[in-house]
Structure 1
């Protein structure tokens, strides 16, 4: 008998709620967005990727439809050869039978003289390939053996609606001797997303700029770290401008209010550091720098005011922080 277990707390209770999440709900990762595409979205996504492929080839054409002869997106190279991107919209990973059928169509129509064999053939599949298919693609000899042994069951009556296609005679010799099975490969889902992100102008429109919820800011360590020494030094100068007895962190022990401000300032410093790291890893280039520029433009008149001392100028940063934490990233 299975023992009852208390339901654990949802993960969402342990993560800070950002302004964006409050407005739109949970951030959906690019991989999940890719897997949730419908047939129309997948076709558009493929066409968007083709804008990158166009820069790599002489020209790129889309075939599609029932008479594609095992070809989908055809990329022609300057030397007269071609490569094929076989795009499949399936809700589940592509199985070996589907892989063998597409390869079978290609081999048959090439043997019939409709076109030469491509130099590369990529499966581009929304839900990826299952383990058996991936293992077959990794071993060209195994892939060839699977096609030959499984031909009657997986390909013979599915190559064309006009007739059954037997794997025998010259056609069998062609498959055994002339077809290079090392040309067959796949483009993994994460690689598709990477190509789309780095080489097309459509990425943010399709997947959004935010890929992850902003994590909770790092907690300041007990000891002052090298990366915050300059920040702390400037804070001490501001305090010293109104309290001459303060020239080091140890001096703050005699001034509880300043010591409390130091702790608050360090939290702000590590929050800013965490935001910079998050922006660098998860946002478009220069997002963090643009945010800093916007904040400065909004507070520059206050910062450039003539202050009685460094402490007054430091306190002016409150307006900066209000703007900072009311931003979409706060």
Structure 2
């Protein structure tokens, strides 16, 4: 007697040979700012995210607000530093001088956090200083007073008003955002993550329930009609599942159905609506075969259509490169489930 049990089919579709942690180093400065903006957009805590990097940005590459109105301590400032090396004091301090200049000018209110975002993170020296905000403030003020560490005192003079802003500013707000954490944020948007890095997401395992569910009702009823016609006797689902003649065939059809169901679930996050388009393409591809009047039995019609479907080339679908062998016949079962195809006329 055939053994009946839940099956979990592991499915893995290829991944890129180069990890995002390496590819992110190749982004151009503008791409890096876009990357940071996309990372922020995955954070539900922000109600408005805007990339401002470029001329006139006033030191804000990306502005992420907690409220629609730009208010003090209700927004985060992201500084996107795309360098070939780790960011050090000489890279950060000129940017901080620009920010404090604009805070003194009231260009914008004080941010809640000032995030340093760099592909190679920060130098060990700056990393340690970030953890010592009081010492960092002292070093920064001295560098500004002395015109050191790349700060242009002619462009951004340390006026008494600006010095007051610096002294009142909590340097604990200045934080490093490790690139690994940024990549985890970016990965939440699977569509953009794949587009930028060419990462092919892994499909979740297809779990086939021990017993048929209500979702499978229509296509399984059609299969039972095929068996009834083929064996000249009607079978219940329980009888078919235990049948020496039909059990393996039935479970294979269910595995195909759930393989396509896995493709559908997979596509929802990355390619919304594309599985529906894929079903239309499959239907158009097998329709002539399925409607042929030459078939004498439902079994011959079903087997012919399922076999024919496996040879379909649907290359214009973004799902094409994600297909597993059972997806195409499984999609036919979905079409039967939607009553667009019948095995027994």
- The alignment's TM-score, normalised by the length of structure 1, stands at 0.61
The separation in 1 between residues aligned to 2:150 and 2:108, in whole angstroms, is 16
Corresponding position of 1:276: 264
The separation in 2 between residues aligned to 1:117 and 1:204, in whole angstroms, is 35
Q: Which of 282, 286, 309 is matched with 1:320 structurally?
A: 309
Corresponding position of 2:119: 126
Matched, 1:266 2:245: no
Q: Which of 197, 203, 213 is matched with 1:207 structurally?
A: 197
Q: CA deviation at 1:323?
A: 2.9
| 1:237 counterpart SS class | helix
Q: Which of 170, 173, 184 is matched with 2:164 structurally?
A: 173
Matched, 1:238 2:226: yes
Q: After the TM superposition, which residues 142-161 of structure 1 pair with which residues of structure 2 at under 5 Å, given as runs?
A: 143=133, 145-151=134-140, 156=146, 157-160=148-151
The separation in 2 between residues aligned to 1:33 and 1:289, in whole angstroms, is 35
Corresponding position of 1:3: none
The separation in 2 between residues aligned to 1:74 and 1:259, in whole angstroms, is 59
The separation in 2 between residues aligned to 1:311 and 1:258, in whole angstroms, is 12
Change (3 A) 1:238 1:148: same
Corresponding position of 1:189: 182
Matched, 1:32 2:21: yes
The separation in 2 between residues aligned to 1:254 and 1:192, in whole angstroms, is 48
Corresponding position of 1:10: none
Q: CA deviation at 1:299?
A: 0.8
Runs (5+) with no aligned partner, structure 1: 1-13
Q: Which of 84, 97, 106 is matched with 2:98 structurally?
A: 106
Structure 1 window deviating more from structure 2 (253-262 vs 310-319): it is 253-262
| 1:224 counterpart SS class | coil
- The alignment's TM-score, normalised by the length of structure 2, stands at 0.59
Change (3 A) 1:249 1:293: same
Change (3 A) 1:159 1:290: same
Aligned length: 288
The separation in 1 between residues aligned to 2:151 and 2:184, in whole angstroms, is 33
Q: Which of 223, 226, 231 is matched with 2:213 structurally?
A: 226
RMSD over equivalenced CA pairs, Å:
5.1
Structure 1 window deviating more from structure 2 (292-301 vs 179-188): it is 179-188
**Could you list the per-position Cα deviations for residues 140-188 of structure 1 after superposition, in whole angstroms to 9, with x for gaps in the alignment?**
xx74x2433433676652153569x9999765433223x4668756776
Q: CA deviation at 1:87?
A: 1.6
Runs (5+) with no aligned partner, structure 2: 1-8, 42-47, 325-345
Change (3 A) 1:261 1:35: same
Change (3 A) 1:236 1:72: same
Corresponding position of 2:283: 296
Contact 2:37 2:51 in 1 (8 A): no
